[in-house]
Structures are given as C-alpha cells and as structure tokens.
Amino acid sequence: MKNIFLTLLLLVILPLTLDARRNGEGFFLGYGMGGTYYDDRGAVDDAGASSSDFSGSGKFYMGYKYNHEVTLEGAVTSYGKYDITKEGEAYETLMPWSAAVYVNYGHGFYHNQIRPFVVLGGGLLWINGRENAIYSDEVFFALHYGVGLLYTPNFLYGWGLRYTYEADWSKFGTTDAAQDAGADSAYNNFIGTLYIGLQYKF
C-alpha cells in the first residue's frame, strides 16, 4: 500500500514542476466522507449467502488544476465494511478500498465558483476478503468514474466543497467453493460512494 500511495502522490505532484500558476492553476488536497453502494450482480446470493450494507466510506484525494476545465486527480477510497452470512453464521467480511488516477473535466459558472464535473480514469481495487470465501483474487483492475459539483466561494480563500458520486467497476473471479455453491465464474462488480468533500487549493 505504501508503494502504491507514493506512486499516486508522484503522479499528481509531477505537474507542479510546470510554470502554470495563471488562470487559477494549482495543487489541491481534500478529504470526503459518505455512504457506499455495492452491486455485486448477485454473486453473494448465488453463493447461497446474504449480505449487509456497507458501513460508509472515506476518501483522500489530491490533484493539480491546469485550468478551469481540466484537473488531474488521484484518490484513495475506503469503502467500509461489508459482512456476509450463510445459514445464520459469519461467512465472509469484505473491506474494499481503491487507488485511482483520473481526469476531472468540468466547466465553471458564477465567476468560476460553481463547477459541475465528470471524472474518468483507472486504478486498482482491493476486495480485502478475510476468508477468501467468494472471490478468487484480492486485487483487480478497476475503471473509475463519477459525476459531481464543486463549490469554491471567493470568500473562503482556496477552500472548497464538493458533492460527488464516484465508483469503481471491476470484474471479479470467484472461488471453486463459491462456484460449487451455485455462483458463476466471474461477476461485474460496482462499488460506489456518494460523499461530501472538503478541499483546499494552494
């Protein structure tokens, strides 16, 4: 995790070597919290188990704003805890998290204080199953995408709020035991979070 975080940090800090301070360019950091939505396309049910809701999410993100339309961002997202039971007993616990690098594209309104945007990129998604009862691997490549709204009022001097839905899509392979119980060999999985973030641009 440490090596991945350092690589992510390097990817978003390298553009700072460019002389691009005009038009609101700059480096920013932020943290967000929210709720989590998980769609496993029936994997847990097909394995004869049942699941609970996620406990919530936390997201640390950073990036570099090139202009009012484009920023390069990186984020580490914790999707909370997901308990799975089978025949009334604990069967599996998932605590997924992701690391992603993506482009944030949007357009500013009201003197660039309100900015709707979309994000698109890629990264890695760790499913973190304690028992490895359903999914055959721990880490999967993920498509990262989302849509949101950023509010940066002038009177906050660099501080901003964002209300965003972001998600990771990946295809998860299943274990032989899960397949013996009725699951397919692989499932498309969608893990997303609707969060409120607080950020600061330097």
pLDDT tens sequence across 48-85: 777 776 678 999 999 998 887 899 999 999 998 888 88
Distance CA 71, CA 62 (A): 10
* pLDDT, tens only, 137-147: 778 899 999 99
CATH of domain 2-201: 2.40.160.20
State which amino acid sits at residue 105: Y
Compute the 3-state secondary structure of the chain and give helix, strand, coil in percent, each to the nearest 5. 15, 55, 25
Q: How confident is the model at residue 19 (pLDDT cuts 50, 70, 90)?
A: very low
Residue 12 has which token pair? 């978003």
Residue 116 CA to residue 98 CA, distance in Å, equals 23
pLDDT at 8 over 80: no
Provide the residue count of the chain.
202
Flag whether pLDDT at 100 surpasses 50: yes
| Among the listed residues 77, 101, 199, 192, the one whose alpha carbon sits nearest the alpha carbon of residue 149 | 199
Mean pLDDT is lowest, of 5-9, 97-101, 148-152, 169-173, for: 5-9
Query: Which pLDDT score, from 0 to 100, does residue 161 have?
Result: 94
Q: What is the pTM of this model?
A: 0.80
DSSP 62-126: EEEE-SSSEEEEEEEEE---EEEEETTEEEEEE--EEEEEEEEEE--BTTTTEEEEEEEEEEEEE
Q: What is the pLDDT of residue 59?
A: 95
Which has the minimum average pLDDT: 115-129, 140-154, 174-188?
Answer: 174-188
What is the SS3 assignment for 139-178?
A: EEEEEEEEEEEEECCHHHCCEEEEEEEEEEEEEEEECHHH
Helix (H, G, I), strand (E, B) or coil at 136: coil
pLDDT of residue 41: 78
